[in-house]
Amino acid sequence: MKKILFLLLTVVTVCSCYNDDDLWDKVNDLDGRVETLETTVKKMNSEITTLQSLVDALNQGKVITNTEQTSDGYTLTFSDGSTVSIKNGKNGTDAPVIGVKADEDGIYYWTITTNGTTEWLPDAEHKLRVTGVTPIMGVDSDGYWTIDTGEGAKRMNGADGKPVKATGKDGDSFFKSVVDDTENDVVIITLADEKNTSFMLPKTTNSVMKITDMGSVEYFTFNQTKSFELQLTNVADFIVHAPEGWIVKMSYTKLSITAPASVSENEAVIKIQLFNKQGLTKIQRLFVYASAYTLKGLSFEDSDYKGTGNYIGKSDWSSLIDNPQYGGPLLYGQSGMGPSDYNWYDENNTLLQHEFPTNWGTTCYWGGGHAISNYVDMDLTHGGFQYQLSVYYKDPATGNGGHNGSKNFCVHYGYTDNSGYASENLPYIYFGDGVARVVDHMYVTMTTYLANCVANGNGLTAPAGEDDWVKLVAIGYDEDGNEVKTKPEFYLVGKAGNILEWSKWDLSALGKVVKIDFNVTGSNDNGYGFSQPAYFCYDDVAVRF
């Protein structure tokens, strides 16, 4: 287009009698419309992302903890600390409007409104779930609206079946209004589609469900049924959403769960939707695991503490969380330099036990160990050793850092290599009764310290490059103290990308062992051996009995 305009200008310039003011006006008008279109497309794609975030909040059971009115809408803060800004709509032109609508199955799907008519996107036969695809708006070279739903940009047809021309005028907001209903403790979002579809996001509700003796992950053998006592507070009604194959029966005082006879996926999530008297709702998630084995889990949650007391005389896991994270009295001794008596024992449950190994003549966390933590930090500028107990993960529903949205987890520090500068003895876990068992799996992810150094480097190491890697290695020992041959590995950093969420590490290949050493190794070497921080977080350790 610009090339053609240039030729026209060249022709008219040689004719001194021609007035080109009108042509320049058209050129300037075209530039203005193109610029407006670019702004409109950017705004539309931003609102699509916002709309998807709202539906995700509903699906994940988030509630609104704060609403702040702005000059043209609201900023909403959710229970996990995330925020989203929504602008009140205004009368616009004929630009398409993307929306969402719950179908008869209760699932939200994308819709599109053109020329006042709302339809499923891309059509009624191939509806797209909001949680699966993010549509991307655009304009093609001929000036028609396009939309990309994962198969490339395609022209968008109106209700008449013809492509819709992008005029370059301001388009409608996808949101017609945002109303903070303080009386009913909800925020009502109304969309700018044909039927003014609206949905409610609950503000903090006082409904509470407490389950007696249920772990953060409850383990079942196939066909096994477990029953639990319930305590419901400010709950007027509830709906149970059970995964395929699982049978869940619930009253106001009892909960019964039966595992399937077989599963394609061991892990499953039971969702229980609670309603208070005002109709406000929140979703409580129960994490279950079915297998052919009897499993017991170590979750580090206070409600799952099975011991008679820990080494500081308390009967909970949280009392073992040190403060500050670096140099605290539990991990570094009262002097801040060691030695430390730090240890823990999952007595009367998995029987897994840990104490700090001796390195450089003392026991202290700077020589290696496994420390209980609940610190969460998503700010990579905080990724130094002062934040060594922080996990680089925040659950979208609870705001906690543990696996499955739980609070507590464990942080490993320590490594060994052939550099001569590493620890001699690796941190380990072992069975306190000396009986060999199969540790089936655990869940692992990065600490903030490691994530920061992988991304940005520091004074001791360069950022991880495209071919760099960081991996965990498990080394098992049998009842005779012999090292087993198989050493399961897990790559936190590698060609497959960086692990920034909780991921399952299968340890069953070790077989029956009484002790497992853990090492952290990688490709980064600053001349003094492995130079990335030798940390990782782990949670929900499952043991076969």
Q: Per residue of the chain (545 residues), what is the pLDDT tens digit?
A: 333 333 223 333 333 444 555 544 444 444 444 555 666 677 777 778 888 888 888 777 777 878 888 877 788 888 777 888 887 665 445 567 788 888 877 778 888 887 778 888 877 788 888 877 788 888 887 778 788 887 888 887 776 778 877 765 555 567 778 888 777 777 888 887 767 777 778 776 678 899 998 988 999 999 999 999 999 998 999 999 999 999 999 999 999 999 999 999 999 999 999 888 777 677 889 999 999 999 999 999 999 999 999 999 999 999 999 999 999 999 999 877 789 999 999 999 999 999 999 999 999 999 999 999 999 999 999 999 999 999 999 998 888 999 999 999 999 999 999 888 888 999 999 999 999 999 999 999 999 999 999 999 999 999 999 999 999 999 999 999 999 999 999 999 997 789 999 999 999 999 999 999 999 999 999 989 999 999 999 999 999 99
Do 401 and 375 contact (CB within 8 A), yes or no? Answer: yes
189 & 173 share domain: yes
Assigned token pair, 321:
């969380």
Q: What is the pLDDT of residue 9?
A: 31
**CA atoms of 28 and 42, how far apart (whole Å):** 21
Place of tokens 């400010």: 234
189, 86 Cβ separation under 8 angstroms = yes
Task: Evaluate whether residue 132 is within a structural domain.
Answer: yes
Q: Final residue of a domain: which of 244, 266, 292?
A: 292
pTM: 0.70
Q: In this structure, are 269 and 322 located in the same domain?
A: no
313-346 pLDDT tens trace = 999 999 999 999 999 999 999 877 789 999 999 9
Contact 397, 79 (CB under 8 A): yes
Instruction: Identify whether residues 369 and 517 lie together within a single domain.
Output: yes
Q: Is residue 10 part of a domain?
A: no
Q: Do 431 and 437 meet the contact criterion of CB atoms below 8 Å apart?
A: yes
Q: Which of 243, 270, 292 is the last residue of a domain?
A: 292
- Full domain range(s) for residue 451: 298-544
Dihedral class, residue 190 (left if φ above 0, else alpha if ψ from -120 to 50, else beta): beta
Between CA 477 and CA 215 the distance in angstroms is 28
CATH number at residue 437: 2.60.120.1350
Give the list of residues 6+ apart from residue 141 with CB closer than 8 angstroms, or none.
none
Q: Same domain for 415 and 486? A: yes
Instruction: Please identify, among 265, 292, 319, the residue that sits at the C-terminal boundary of a domain.
Output: 292
Kindly state whether residues 385 and 471 are assigned to the same domain.
yes
C-alpha torsion sign, points 78, 84, 90, 93: negative
CATH of the domain at 286: 2.60.40.10
Contact between residue 356 and residue 343 where contact means Cβ atoms under 8 Å apart: yes
Backbone angles phi, psi at 114, to 5 degrees: -130, 135
Q: Cβ atoms within 10 A of the Cβ of 308, count?
A: 9
Residue 345 tokens read as 């024992």
Task: Enter the DSSP assignment of 318.
Answer: G
Same domain, 78 and 213: no
